[in-house]
Amino acid sequence: MHGSLKCNDARAAAAEASGAREGGWQPGYLQRLRIAPPWALLLLTFLTGCPLAENYTDEAGPRYSDDHRHPGTISSEAPASITVVTFNLSFAEQVTEAITALSRPPLAGADVIAMQEMDAASVDRIASELGLAYVYYPASVQVDDDDFGNALLSRWPIVADRKVHLPHDDPYHQRRRIAVLATLDIGGTLVQTASVHNATPIVGLGGRLDQAETIIDAMEGTGPVQVIAGDFNTSDPGSLRQMVRLFSERDFQWASEGVGDTVDSVIGGLPLDFVFAQGLAPLERGVDRRPAGSDHHPVWVRFAWPP
Amino acid sequence: MMRGFGIRALWVGGTLVLAPGCLSGARNIGAATTPVGTTEVGVSLNALAFERGRDQAYLPSPELTFRKGAGENWDWGGRLTLLGLELGTRHRLIEQSRWTWSVAPSAGIWYVPVTNNYTEPVNLRLGAQTLLDYRLSRAWTLTGGASLTGAFAGPLTAFQGRFNGSNLLLSPGGSLGIGFRLSPSFEVRAEGGLEFPLDLRGGSRPPSGHAGLTFRWSRADRR
């Protein structure tokens, strides 16, 4: 250790002498410089190390849609009830498991499925296997280079759709969140639907409430029957209460009220996924907690029909 | 029920440790400057009231404070939270037998991992406080304060030139405190205050407040 210090001292003295010869630095400067770079590099890495997200900032796209409905899934008659499911498929990595879950009761035959964290290929595969129409908009590109966005899948014709940019990009990567809105024609009645994926609690509760309100505003006046479903990321204390109150103040009913936790996490169960509705009466609701290929569990609500 | 309690405790604990320093307008000082050759250290236990979502929230905020005499009429010091530091000076302008009047400019930086309504990961505060002491007795001192603070809150991406989500605030505020000197080297101070943040782009925000106790020790520096 002693020898090492001597060696370092000698090196510093030589360097300082060299600097002095070149008419450059004052004695002691090099010593500070020798200490500074690791700290400076660490600070620089910390401050600039977060890669900026690649967002799809276009107002209208990219957009993916198709209609995989077939005679077996198309109904010409108005149903006795409609079932809405919301399911965050966790980066769309376990599509086969998701299809299995969506093909068994109580999710089988769902009229509307709002999905989050999806990519186009996975949405198309699920819609194809289940015989559904769909619309999908990616919000951004994830770190694995897959798209990351929301989809609405429907047993009924999708007659209009659009993407809604949500305010408050995350402060570390500026990642954008969106909602996907679609108008469904259910037996001649137009139903406005939204698939939502709010920011995580890294974005404060005020920001997430602004995001929810942006979606409500976007749907306002579009029709008397509305369903807003998705992952609202209400894991922090008080956020669920304030989120539900916001929807209640805007005349939405918490249709999935009482289903309990919808995510298994390292800190326990969390209630993150909800269905809110206007102009519809919920009959039954629940969470399918069997394995479905995600840390989120699909949430379902069966509504009386006609509204 | 226990699981819910556990989650809540984890969140509150995490927020307590990491978040609230930048929201605190508490300075917990009087107008009298620290004598030259003396260093004061203190522990403050504050409760903060602030806007969260669309409600008020309340959190405890522990802080360490220190001050060091630098001249006949001024000292310097600061307060330290886990992820933040505020430094400033205090200048005695007028002193009479019962009254002392000072001004205390300060600058602070806080890192907060999550955003709140108008706080972001990077928070800078620059402000000044004027303080007026009225000595009720040898032991008791009443302190009134008025402050004006400018704050910048920005995302971490501000260091990469992306300022989306930044906030600029101007916060006038006031405080009232009372100090009790238990011994020549130990003081207990209680303080409460309010700040009225004005978002320079979004208008006024609900007030934030603080109330707390500070235990402060002083000692002569070694020569």
Domain interval for residue A157: 54-304
Is the pLDDT confidence value at A4 over 50?
no
**A83-100: average pLDDT:** 94
Q: Does domain B2-220 have CATH number 2.40.160.20?
A: yes
Both A113 and A40 in one domain: the answer is no
**Cα of A58 to nearest chain B Cα, Å:** 17
Residue B162 touches chain A, beta carbons under 8 Å: yes
Both A136 and A224 in one domain: the answer is yes
**Cα of B50 to nearest chain A Cα, Å:** 12
**Cα of B22 to nearest chain A Cα, Å:** 15
Residue B163 has a pLDDT of 82
Q: Which residues of A touch B162 (CB under 8 A)?
A: 52, 174
Which of B12, B117, B156 lies nearest to residue A237, judging by beta carbons?
Answer: B12
Both A98 and A36 in one domain: the answer is no
**B96-107: average pLDDT:** 95
Note whether B53 contacts A239, CB cutoff 8 Å: yes
Is the pLDDT confidence value at B74 over 50?
yes
Note whether A47 contacts B164, CB cutoff 8 Å: no
Both A12 and A99 in one domain: the answer is no
**Cα of B102 to nearest chain A Cα, Å:** 36
Residue B84 has a pLDDT of 86
Distance from C-alpha of A70 to C-alpha of A125, rounded to nearest angstrom: 15
Residue B161 has a pLDDT of 79
**A67-83: average pLDDT:** 83
Domain residue spans of chain B? 2-220
Q: Lowest-pLDDT range, A40-54, A253-267, B96-110, B146-160?
A: A40-54
What pLDDT digit, counting tens, does each position of B3-59 carry? 556 666 666 666 555 555 556 777 789 999 999 999 999 999 988 888 888 888 888
Residue B59 has a pLDDT of 84
Taken in order B161, B166, B170, B175, the sign of the CA dihedral is: negative
What pLDDT digit, counting tens, does each position of A33-51 carry? 455 566 665 665 566 556 7
Mean pLDDT (chain B, rounded): 87
Is the pLDDT confidence value at B121 over 80?
yes
Both A102 and A9 in one domain: the answer is no
Judged by DSSP in three states, B158 sits in helix
Both A37 and A59 in one domain: the answer is no
Q: Which residues of A touch B22 (CB under 8 A)?
A: none
Distance from C-alpha of A136 to C-alpha of A134, rounded to nearest angstrom: 7
Model confidence at B119, pLDDT cuts 50, 70, 90, reads confident
Note whether A171 contacts B157, CB cutoff 8 Å: yes
Both A129 and A44 in one domain: the answer is no
Judged by DSSP in three states, B102 sits in strand
Which of A203, A238, A268 lies nearest to residue B115, judging by beta carbons?
Answer: A203
Both A101 and A248 in one domain: the answer is yes
> Which position has the token pair 């403050």?
B44
**A26-32: average pLDDT:** 49
- What the block records as the tokens of B199 is 């978002």
Is the pLDDT confidence value at B170 over 60?
yes
Residue A240 touches chain B, beta carbons under 8 Å: no
Percent of chain B with pLDDT over 70: 88
Residue B133 has a pLDDT of 96
- Locate all alpha helices (DSSP H) within chain A, ordered by sequence: 2-21, 29-48, 95-102, 120-130, 205-219, 239-249
**A79-92: average pLDDT:** 94
Give the total number of structural domains in chain A: 2
**A17-29: average pLDDT:** 41
Residue B35 has a pLDDT of 94
Both A218 and A296 in one domain: the answer is yes
Distance from C-alpha of A178 to C-alpha of A195, rounded to nearest angstrom: 9
- What the block records as the tokens of A301 is 């609500």
Both A117 and A7 in one domain: the answer is no
Higher pLDDT, residue A38 or A224: A224
Burial of B97 (0-12, 13-18, 19+ CB in 10 A): exposed
Note whether B11 contacts A270, CB cutoff 8 Å: no
Residues 6+ apart with CB under 8 A from B67: B29, B34, B39, B40, B75, B76, B77, B90
Higher pLDDT, residue B30 or A22: B30
Note whether A206 contacts B155, CB cutoff 8 Å: no
Q: Which residues of B touch A47 (CB under 8 A)?
A: 156, 159
Model confidence at A191, pLDDT cuts 50, 70, 90, reads very high
What pLDDT digit, counting tens, does each position of A99-147 carry? 999 999 999 999 999 999 999 999 999 999 999 999 999 999 987 789 9
Rg of chain B, C-alpha, whole Å: 18
Which CATH number belongs to the domain containing residue A168 in this structure? 3.60.10.10
Residue A40 has a pLDDT of 61
Both A120 and A220 in one domain: the answer is yes
Q: Which residues of A touch B156 (CB under 8 A)?
A: 47, 50, 171-172
Note whether B164 contacts A206, CB cutoff 8 Å: no
Both A91 and A21 in one domain: the answer is no
